[in-house]
Amino acid sequence: MKIILFGATGMVGQGALRECLLDPDVTEVLIVGRSTTGRKHAKIQEIVHKNLYDLSPIAPQLAGYDACFFCLGVSSVGMSEADYTKITHDLTVAVAHVLAQQNPQMVFLYVSGTGTDSTERGSSMWASVKGRTENELLREPFRAAYMLRPGYIQPMHGVASKTPLYRIFYVVLSWLYPVLRLAARKYVITTEDLGRAMIKIAKSGAPKRVLENSDIEAL
Question: pLDDT digit string (tens) for 2-42?
Answer: 999 999 999 999 999 999 999 999 999 999 999 999 899 99
Q: Is the pLDDT of residue 162 over 80?
A: no
Strand partners, 105: none
Q: What is the mean pLDDT of residues 111-118?
A: 94
Helices in 63-190 by DSSP H: which ranges? 81-85, 92-102, 125-139, 164-174, 177-183
Taking the domains of the chain in order of start, what are their residue ranges?
Answer: 2-218
**Which pLDDT does position 158 carry in this prediction?**
66
Q: Does the pTM of the predicted model rise above 0.85?
A: yes
Backbone angles phi, psi at 173, to 5 degrees: -75, -15
Q: What is the mean pLDDT of residues 192-207?
A: 97
**Which pLDDT does position 155 carry in this prediction?**
82
**Which pLDDT does position 128 carry in this prediction?**
97
Q: Mean pLDDT for the chain?
A: 91
**Which pLDDT does position 185 carry in this prediction?**
66
CA angle 61, 144, 67 (to 5 degrees): 35
Of 142, 113, 145, the closest CA to residue 129 belongs to: 113
pLDDT digits (tens, 9 = 90+) for 122-151: 889 999 999 999 999 999 999 999 999 998
Lowest-pLDDT range, 36-50, 101-115, 167-181?
A: 167-181
Q: What is the mean pLDDT of residues 206-212?
A: 97
The fold of the 2-218 domain, in CATH, is Rossmann fold (3.40.50)
Q: What is the mean pLDDT of residues 158-183?
A: 60
Distance, CA of 54 to CA of 56 (rounded, Å): 6
pLDDT digits (tens, 9 = 90+) for 39-91: 999 999 999 999 999 999 999 999 999 999 999 988 888 899 999 999 999 99
Q: What is the DSSP string of 78-94?
A: T--HHHHHIIIIIIHHH
